[in-house]
Amino acid sequence: MKNRKLAEKFLHKAGQDMTVLEKWRKDPDIAEEILGFHAQQTAEKMLKAVLAYQGIVIPFTHSGKFKFVT
């Protein structure tokens, strides 16, 4: 089932990360790694918005239930 409400929440959060990028991108005191982190977060939240809108279940990996296998 499509989840428009969740998709809108992800887009709102992505917009907040974009605002940070726009404000910090010309600040020489902000490390490139920080800008890269927020760029990655923006892309991830936008992708999650598309998935949620399409009704694809998004696992929340920070819950501790999912672990990386090395």
**Sign of the CA dihedral with 66 first, then 47, 34, and 24 last:** negative
- Tens-place pLDDT, residues 33-54: 999 999 999 999 999 999 999 9
Nearest to 47 by CA among 14, 21, 24, 23: 14
Amino acid sitting at position 54: Q
pTM, 2 dp: 0.77
Whole-Å CA distances, 47 to 18, 23, 44, 58, 67: 14, 23, 5, 10, 21
Q: How confident is the model at residue 15 (pLDDT cuts 50, 70, 90)?
A: very high
